Amino acid sequence: SNPFEVKVNRQKFDILGRKTKNDVGLPGVSRSKAIKKRNQTLLKEYKEREKTNVFKDKRFGEYNTKITPEEKMIRRFTLERQQNYGKKNIYNLNEDEELTHYGQSLAEIEKLNDIVDSDSDTEERGALSAELTAAHFGGGGGLLRKKVSSEQQDEEEEKPKSRKELIEEMIAKSKQEKQERQTRRESALELTEKLDKDWKEIQTLIARKTPKSERKDKELEKPKPDEYDMIVRELGFEMKAKPSERLKTEEELAKEEQARLQKLEADRLRRMRGIDEQANEKRPSHMSADDLADGFILDKDDRRLLSYKDGKINIENEEEKEEEEGEEEEEEEEEEEDNDNEEESQEESAGEDEEDDAADSHSDLESDLESEEEAAGDKEEKKHKANENESQNVEKLDPKSEAAESELPYTFAVPESYETFKSLLSGRTIEQQLIILERVQKCNHPSLAVGNKAKLEKLFGFLLEYIGELAALDLPELRTIDKLVLPLYNLCQMFPEAASDSIKFILRDAAHDLEEVIEVKGRAAFPGLDTLIYLKIISLLFPTSDFWHPVVTPAFMYMSQLLTKCRITTLQDVIKGLFICCLFLEYVSLSRRFVPELINFLLGVLHVSLPKSRAQGYTVVHPFTPVGKNLELLFVCDKEDLKSWEKQNMPLSIVTRLKETSKTEINHIRLSCLALCFDLIKKCAALYESLPSFHEIMHPVRILLTQHVPVNEYPEKMQEWYHSALKELENKVKHYTPLICEKKKPVPLKQYTPKIVKVLEFGRKQAGSKKEQERKQLIQRHKRELKGAIREIRKDNQFLARMQLSEIMERDSARKRKVKELLGSLATQEGEWKAMKRKKWKS
Amino acid sequence: QLPTGLYKKVLVILHDSVLPYMNEPTLMMDFLTVAYGIGGAISLLALNGLFILIHQHNLEYPDFYKKLYSLLDPSIYHVKYRARFFHLTDLFLSSSHLPAYLVAAFIKRLSRLALTAPPEALLMIIPFICNLFRRHPACRVLVHRPGGPADMSEDPYVMEEEEPSQSRALESSLWEIQSLQNHYHPDVAKAAAVLNQSLSEMEDDISGLLELSAYELFDKEVKKKAVDVPLEFEQVRGLFGKRNDIFAEHFSLG
């Protein structure tokens, strides 16, 4: 090109082997390009800036370059025809004329042909009456007849009435037809039902359950698919026959399972120590944290969703599951084939219904998630039965739950509010509730639709609230809660964040209430059973051994507050306190963390079990006092009651009501509490054995046990508890090693040699980690983009200003021109007028 | 004398609404000394007025530290006036002229009592003890004793001894704080772990920690944003379905 239009970016240094992109610039070309582009976009916008009407081009494929013009025309033509099809065109006069061929009307002939054709097709279309076609499709027939009738009755006035009659007749006919069809369908239904029954009988023999039978009825009305579709789907299923993975041997499976558990355990330990938090960040986050972030089960060998079948919980050993994985696919294929075969035989026997049945079998298979899942579930169940002795669940399959399953609908929407959720579950048995929850989860799996994740996350909150409500009842339905924990666990596994948020919310509410009461009254009472149950559920859902955990740590804090701030005035308070002690012990059972409140509380419980006496050698701390109301709360002096006592598990419902029980029973409960306390002391001793100041921690308890507790008055069972606790305390060796600080790392001397950074590529900074580099890159890119954008905006503004200026200039020049013209015309007028005047003068 | 409630009320406001306006604050001397001798919360409260007398009016109080030492009992971490008491104790122990045995006895006693303290008190007392170590380097043998006997069968410190000089605190080590490194609250465990390393030169500022309440701690924990939430991998088998569940042994559903 013209060397004067080229701008050369001179390089300061020539570097061999480097490719330069921008050594030559063409300012003129790029400028004209930019202007052109602005003309096309910005200018257009500018010109249309005050116009709100938009021109929409709805011509088919006008801007689609992929279609050739001919094709485009054809498509447009067909579209037009389709639009006009069935509409009467009042302006088209030609249609009223009858076209004939050899004296016969062409329309007639066409119709005849049609019938001949459709004969082989489907009966239904052929069955449509001529009137119907005329009315519905408005084709030539109707118009034809109209013409005929008008010819026949051109002199009669009641033409409109005859038309009415015609229509009535038509309606009657169609009604009749409808009825006929209905009766036919009913008979078909009956037939299929009978068939189903027969099939069920056979089925029990085969010992395989296909819950399809219910659905069959529903889907009978579905339109029949094309033969073509059927073939396509069949092909689709044939494609599925992939080679399955080799079945793993028992040992391999066991090994894998062991490895997985080991990994999880190692993760847990690492979190428990909580030391390497920085190192932690670099690692890929461990599996249990985010494997289910999107609701999918990603890893093959990961835990899978729990499933219920007939009110039974399918908790199987992981080995079984993996074993199945391979088998399942094969089996599925087999079963599907089986199904087809069976269905074929049915078809033959059923004769007329053959098409329907075939359709069913396919619409069943057609991406219907549930049916597949159910099939899988069936197999699991079979498996289950096979090794029931191994399976851990205790419940028996009862006919009741089976009935429950069959009478519940298959799909549920996720309830939007807590009220709807409650109404969904109210009045149902436990089994039904579980099934409902399972189905809600399945029907709304996050992989099925976009909004499902949020919905199911809400479901967790509802379920939690529901459990709280059940626990807060006068007669707490603990058995139901016991079962509901399972779906809760599943949901929690699916949405850890949402679950932790909702539990945290509950905890915060509870703690807030507690704090308010303390501020107002100075002391508080223990919370209800629901809160205790929540705390227990936390230990089921989350690992309590972590050094820090978003849910467990606040729970710890809350429990500590309960043990230190809540007043103890009644027996229930003691039981609740002991429950929290148990919780504490359970929370720290793996991590062996030290909980001072726990020891304090146990000491206090022991203290209140003693007869009134001045405490010697030990001090009890808040909420217990050496003197005060709560003394002798657990003290039992009745000899009879002491004798008749037997250790029994305390029902949790005691916590909510205790009034109606007799004095003996209360005494027994007191003794049970005491036994529990002894046991907890024993467990604490075992747990804290390794602490360097174990003896100092346990000192007050030991003094109380050895010097104050009236052992000899206790029944024998209690003495056993007592002695086992004491033994656990006593037989620890005293062992103290002086502390030594960790050696300080030597501080490196300051050095003044230059820092050497490796440079792999010139002009690029190598320092920093990968993340940092990425960040820098992003910052740089952002800067560059920002600069570019600013430049572009500036140029746009300049362009617009130019445009406006030229507009103004144009306007001005036009005005000038017009003024000039006017002045000119005026001047000529004046001139003429003067000339006239002069002439007059002369003349 | 006065009833307990009134006693407390008087003592709470004495130091800033009564003493500064008296011509002869020393007249309160007897009242305060008696109150200080009563023990419990009243002694803690009398401390404040007494401090002003000692500090500004040249009151000579024999065995002041011994008395202070005997005030330390398990309830100090639980009482309402904890912040005030530790503020004053911090002041009293800030003098670098105190003998090492005294400071060591205080450290040892405080940490022994810390074994029963709630977390909010622990978060305060551990930096407090660290500060004492900084002020009195002679006490560092408590956490660092390289040449000591390898194994002892008994803690040399005598808890029951009323006289700090007889308590043999300097022969002991701070096993209590080492135990607290296993505390369930992560912050406490971290704070206790500081004593493993040699301390930094700067003193910690504990004024903000004195008033710490359990609810604040809880709130802080709840508001922390977690990147990810680790989950329990053991399959749930019902409310009490864990392995070796303590609840299953003692409680029943129903």
What ipTM score was computed for the predicted complex, to two decimals? 0.91
C-alpha–C-alpha distance, residues B45 and B55, integer Å:
16
Tokens, residue A127: 């069955």
Confirm whether B43 is domain-assigned: no
Mean pLDDT (whole number) for A754-763:
68
Whether A619 and B73 lie within 8 Å, measured CB to CB: yes
Which of A595, A737, A739 has the CB atom closest to B174's CB atom?
A739
Closest by CA to B103, choosing from B174, B152, B185, B32, is B174
State the residue range of the domain holding B219.
63-250
The answer to whether residue A107 scores a pLDDT higher than 50 is yes
> pLDDT band at residue A366, thresholds of 50, 70 and 90?
very low
Does the pLDDT of residue A835 top 70, yes or no? yes
- Helix/strand/coil for B10: helix
pLDDT of residue A177: 92
Phi, psi of A100 (to 5 degrees): -125, 160
Residue A8's H or E segment, with its range, is strand A7-8
Query: Measured between CA atoms, how close is A482 to chain B, in angstroms?
Result: 5
- Peptide bond just before A243 cis, omega within 30 deg: no
Candidate from A210-219, A352-361, B8-17, B174-183 with smallest mean pLDDT? A352-361
* A537 pLDDT more than 60: yes
CB-based contact B231 A739, cutoff 8 Å: no
> Of A605, A584, A594, which is closest to residue A539 (Cα–Cα)?
A584
Say if the Cβ atoms of B249 and A271 lie within 8 Å: no
For residue A278, how far is the Cα from the chain centroid? 31
* Cross-chain Cβ contact B155/A489 below 8 Å: no
Highest mean pLDDT among A66-70, A170-174, A427-431, B71-75: A170-174
pLDDT of residue A762: 64
Cβ–Cβ gap B118/A564 under 8 Å: yes
Band the pLDDT of A839: cuts 50, 70, 90: very high
Binned at pLDDT 50, 70 and 90, residue A831 comes out as very high
Helix (H), strand (E) at residue A650: strand A650-651
CA distance A296 to chain B (A): 16
- Residue A766 CB burial class (10 angstroms; 0-12, 13-18, ≥19): exposed
Q: Could you tell me if residue B132 is inside a domain? A: yes
CB pairs under 8 A between A and B: 255
Partner residue opposite B173 with nearest CB, options A274, A497, A739:
A739
Higher-pLDDT residue of A26 and A153 is: A26
Most A CBs within 10 Å, among B178, B225, B251, B252, to test the A interface: B251
A499 in contact with B at a CB cutoff of 8 Å? yes
Per the structure, the count of domains in chain B is: 1
Q: Which residues of B touch A486 (CB under 8 A)?
A: 236, 238
Task: Check B176 against A693: CB less than 8 A apart.
Answer: yes
B228: which chain A residues are within 8 Å (Cβ-Cβ)? 285, 289-290, 496-497
The percent of chain B in helix, strand and coil, each rounded to the nearest 5, is 60, 0, 40
Please indicate whether residue A151 or residue A533 has the higher confidence score (pLDDT): A533
| pLDDT tens digits along A470-492 | 888 777 777 888 888 888 888 88
> Is the CB of A547 inside 8 Å of chain B's CB atoms?
yes
In B, residues 76-95, which contact A (CB 8 Å cutoff)? 77-78
Residue A286 above 60 pLDDT?
no
Instruction: Please tell me which of the candidates A482, A585, A600 has its beta carbon nearest to residue B253.
Output: A482
Closest Cβ opposite residue A289 in set B155, B229, B236: B229
- Cβ contact, residue pair A651, B145, below 8 Å: no
- Cβ–Cβ contact B222 with A under 8 A: yes
Orientation angle between helical segments A663-688 and A571-587, nearest 10 degrees: 20
Whether the predicted pLDDT of B149 surpasses 80: no
Which residues does chain B have within 8 Å of residue A556's beta carbon, measured at their own beta carbons?
184-185
CB A173 within 8 A of CB A129: yes
SS3 B160: coil
Considering only alpha carbons, which residue of chain B is nearest residue A555? B218
Judging by beta carbons within 10 Å of its beta carbon (0-12, 13-18, 19+), is residue A587 exposed, middle or buried?
A: buried
A696/B155 CB distance under 8 A: yes
Task: Take residue A192 and report the two structure tokens written for it.
Answer: 């299929």
pLDDT for the residue numbered A817: 97
Whether the CB-CB separation of A474 and B212 falls below 8 Å is answered with no
d(CA A412, CA A404): 15
Confidence tier at A536 by pLDDT (50, 70, 90): confident
Question: Could you tell me which of B150, B103, B101 has the C-alpha nearest to residue A739?
Answer: B150
**Cβ pair A582:B251 closer than 8 A:** yes
In a domain, B226, yes or no: yes
- Higher model confidence: residue B37 or residue A836? A836
pLDDT at A388: 41
Q: Which residues of B touch A703 (CB under 8 A)?
A: none
Q: Which of A87-96, A121-130, B66-75 has the highest mean pLDDT?
A: B66-75
Any chain A CB within 8 A of the CB of B160?
Answer: no
The whole model's pTM is what?
Answer: 0.60
- Secondary structure element (H or E) that encloses residue A104, with its range: strand A104-105
Task: Tell me the backbone φ, ψ of residue A18, rounded to 5 degrees.
Answer: -100, 135
pLDDT confidence band for A225 (50 / 70 / 90): low
Number of other residues whose CB lies within 10 A of the CB of residue A95: 15
Task: Report chain B residues whose CB lies below 8 A from the CB of A557.
Answer: 119, 185, 214, 217-218, 221
d(CA A735, CA B152): 6
C-alpha distances out from residue A793 to A40, A212, A785, A798, A800, Å: 16, 65, 12, 9, 10
Enumerate residues 6+ apart whose C-beta is below 8 A from A405: A310, A311, A431, A435
Chain B neighbours among A 437-456 (CB < 8 Å)? none
Minimal Cα–Cα distance from A567 to chain B, Å? 14
- Contact of B97 with chain A, judged by CB distance below 8 Å, is answered with no
Instruction: Say if residue A415's pLDDT is above 80.
Output: no
A623 touching B, CB under 8 A? Answer: no
Q: For residue range A550-609, what is the model confidence (pLDDT) as tens digits?
A: 888 889 889 888 888 888 888 888 888 888 898 888 888 888 888 888 888 888 888 888
Of B117, B198, B241, the CB nearest to A741: B198
Looking at chain A, the whole-number percentage of residues with pLDDT higher than 90 is 11
Question: What would the mean pLDDT of A206-234 be, rounded to a whole number?
Answer: 58
Cross-chain residue pair A496–B75, CB shorter than 8 Å: no
In this predicted structure, the answer to whether residue A371 has a pLDDT above a threshold of 60 is: no
Residue B228 in contact with partner chain A when CB distance is under 8 A: yes
The pLDDT assigned to A148 comes to 45
Is the pLDDT score of A393 beyond 80?
A: no
Q: What is the pLDDT of residue A659?
A: 60
What average pLDDT does the structure give for chain A?
Answer: 73
Residue A754 has pLDDT above 90, yes or no: no
Tell me, yes or no, whether B120 lies in a domain. Answer: yes
Looking up tokens 């075939």, which residue turns up?
A: A358
Q: Which residue has the higher pLDDT, A683 or B204?
A: A683
Nearest CA in chain A to B183: A594
Task: Return the pLDDT at A111.
Answer: 63
| Range 187-206 of B in CB contact (< 8 A) with A | 189, 195-198
Q: What is the pLDDT of residue A609?
A: 82
Query: Helix and strand tally (H, E) in chain A?
Result: 31, 7
Chain A residues in contact with B239 by the CB 8 A cut-off are: 478, 481-482, 485, 533, 536-537, 540
Nearest to A49 by CA among A790, A800, A793: A800
- Measured between CB atoms, does B146 come within 8 Å of chain A? yes
Q: Is B125 on the interface with A (CB under 8 A)?
A: no
pLDDT bracket for residue B91 (50, 70, 90): confident
Going from N- to C-terminal start, the domains of chain A cover: 409-494, 510-731
Of A261, A585, A650, Cβ closest to residue B252? A650
Query: Which residues from chain A sit within 8 angstroms of residue B70, using beta carbons?
Result: none
CA distance A243 to B187: 55
Å from A192 to nearest chain B CA?
43
Per-residue pLDDT for B89 more than 50?
yes
Cβ-defined contact of B252 to A652 (cutoff 8 Å): yes
- Chain B touched by A565 (CB under 8 Å): yes
Residues 8-67 of A with CB under 8 A from B: none
pLDDT tops 90 at residue A822 = yes
Q: Does A553 touch chain B (CB under 8 A)?
A: yes
Residues in chain A with CB shorter than 8 Å from the CB of B254 are 478-479, 651-653
Residue A266 CA to residue A222 CA, distance in Å, equals 55
Query: At residue A135, does pLDDT exceed 80?
Result: no
pLDDT score, position B145: 80
Mean pLDDT of A787-810: 95
Please write the tens of the pLDDT for every residue from A143-184: 444 444 444 444 444 455 678 888 889 899 999 999 999 999
Cα angle A420, A421, A425; round to 5? 115
Of A275-284, A444-453, A571-580, A828-837, give the range with the top mean pLDDT. Answer: A828-837
Is A793 a residue whose pLDDT tops 90? yes
- Cβ neighbours of B222 in A, within 8 Å: 504, 507-508, 511, 554
Q: Chain A within 8 Å of B250 (Cβ-Cβ)?
A: yes
Quote the minimal CA–CA distance from A376 to chain B in Å: 21
Q: Give the model's pLDDT for residue A89.
A: 64
Q: How far is CA A689 from CA A593, A686, A693, in A?
A: 11, 5, 9
Task: Report pLDDT digits (tens) over A607-626.
Answer: 888 877 665 667 777 777 76
For chain A, positions 502-541, list CB contacts with chain B under 8 A. Answer: 504, 507-508, 511, 514-515, 533, 536-537, 539-541
Q: Which residue has the higher pLDDT, B228 or A280?
A: B228
